[in-house]
Amino acid sequence: MTLIYNHTTSAITMAARNKHELLPEFDRIVQKHGTCQQHRKYQLGRTIGEGTFAKVKLALDSTNGKYVAIKVLDKHMVQREIRTMKLLNHSNIVRIHEVIGTKTKIYIVMEYVSGGQLSDKMSYAKRFSEGEARKLFQQLIDAVDYCHNKGVYHRDLKPENLLLCGKGSLKISDFGLSALRKPGDLLSTKCGSPSYVAPELLVNKVYDGAAADVWSCGVILFELLAGNLPFDDSSLMSLYRKICRADYTFPKWFTESQKKLISRILDPNPETRITIPKIMEIEWFQKDYMPSCGNNSDDKIHLDDVNAAFDSTEDENKQKTRIGSKLTINETIKKIEAAAMDVSLSVERTKNLRMKMHAKQIMNRCSRSYVDISAESLSSQLREEPAVSTQMQEADVVSIQSQSIPKKERPSY
């Protein structure tokens, strides 16, 4: 995703400089997704990044005139990334400022990084000098090491997910495919981008997330120094064969120190592949090395606030069943009552077409079940005794929502 560093400027200056590119009101943009007082805080602008699961919008914080980047995702896609990013506070990792939830969307407010994606710079810079590549690699390793110490494995490290600040510093973004595990735990989900994926992810085995991230870092270092990928092929299967065999060739300008380090990183055997602590001891890595700092998570962002962003939707654990019947609503309800008796349940009718089902002998909180029956366009008919319908009508469709209904065969109508 393209996220770009926080850049301070006044709202007036920004408006004057971008006279032809006015930012629309944030709450007007998301009106169709629901309302939230916090929306008025931001003015949403152009799309600056787009990935598999999300879009990133440039926005203006109207309270302080700062640019921010806002990632917009569907709720069921975003929970892992929010929880992961809450754990991370490092100078080389994109920061999360705020989380806003509506009925259907989650808005993650993050720092705006002005240098764009590393991949963009690589597309026109071709290859980097040894000093530039080493500096970026040092920052990448520092950030990845910090993540691993927090139990976070990115699993999709590539230049498109590495952002550059105005001063050339690197920041990792897009933790949408990350995994949160205890040190030593193995992973099984196969994910990542083909050219950067570790060989152990291409076979049907569990793998070490730390070793997989190290491999991706090695591919990135090779690309920085060479200007091209170590593994590349128009055929995906041929590409995977090259990765599994570590079949690549060093350009003639690579030094022996560079070759030695990359060879130890691009080891197809994850058990003998060099680890991050060992990488940090390498003489080539140590040159002009200035360790990046990591801090504790931001106290302003609480897990309760993140959870609250998801509370506006209905309980996802509810089972929903739709049935069609030629019977009237009352006749259908009577059949449900009869079926409940067969499994030793009694039925109590309440308001709004809701029924409570509970055991006849003992009624307690854990054995009670609820069945919500909502008949579309039939509330007025139910107050009167509806006539028997001999044909299937659209109004005869009954929507049933149930929780913990006993798992016995339900009646057919």
pLDDT number for residue 231: 93
Query: DSSP of 339-360, one letter per residue?
Result: HHHHTTEEEEE-STTEEEEEES
> 130-149 and 209-226 helices cross at what angle (nearest 10)?
170
Q: Both 131 and 229 in a single domain?
A: yes
Residues making up the binding site: 71
Q: What is the DSSP string of 194-213?
A: GGG--GGGGSSS-EEHHHHH
pLDDT score for 309:
60
Note the residue count of the chain.
Answer: 413
Would you call 185 a catalytic residue per the annotation?
Answer: no
CATH number of 58's domain = 3.30.200.20
Give me the pLDDT at residue 353, please: 61
Binding residues for ATP: 71
Instruction: Name the pairing type of β-strands 54-61 and 207-208.
Output: unpaired
Domain count, the chain: 3
Q: Residues 26, 83: one domain? A: yes
d(CA 265, CA 279): 9
Query: What pairs with residue 208 in β-bridges?
Result: 186
Residue 48 region by backbone torsions, left for phi larger than 0, else alpha for psi between -120 and 50, else beta: alpha
Whether residues 139 and 268 share a domain: the answer is yes
339 is a domain residue: yes
Show the domain range for 331. 319-403
Query: Rounded mean pLDDT of 246-267?
Result: 96
Three-state SS letters, 43-76: EEEEEEEECCCEEEEEEEECCCCEEEEEEEEEHH
**313 within some domain:** no
Q: What's the whole-number mean pLDDT along residues 314-336?
A: 60
Query: Do 338 and 350 reside in the same domain of the chain?
Result: yes
**Using alpha carbons only, how large is the chain's radius of gyration in Å?**
28
- Higher-scoring residue by pLDDT: 336, 135: 135
Choice among 156, 174, 208, 396 that is catalytic: 156
Q: What is the mean pLDDT of the chain?
A: 71
Supply angle C-alpha 250, 254, 255, rounded to 5: 130
Task: Tell me if the pTM is above 0.85.
Answer: no
How would residue 388 be classed by pLDDT, with cut points 50, 70 and 90?
very low
Across the beta sheet with 42-50, the strand order is 42-50, 54-61, 66-74, 105-111, 96-101
The answer to whether residue 92 sits within a structural domain is yes
Instruction: Give the range with max mean pLDDT: 243-247, 349-353, 406-410.
Output: 243-247
Q: pLDDT digits over 179-197, tens only?
A: 555 555 444 444 557 889 9
pLDDT one-digit tens code per residue, 81-105: 777 777 788 999 988 887 887 777 7
Predicted pLDDT at 166: 78
Q: Is residue 361 part of a domain?
A: yes
Higher pLDDT, 125 or 51: 125
- Between the two ends of the chain, the Cα-to-Cα distance in Å is 51
Same domain, residue pair 139 and 260: yes
Q: How far apart are CA 73 and CA 256, in angstroms?
A: 45
* 100-158 confidence digits (pLDDT tens): 877 777 788 888 898 889 988 888 877 899 999 999 999 999 999 998 888 888 888 99
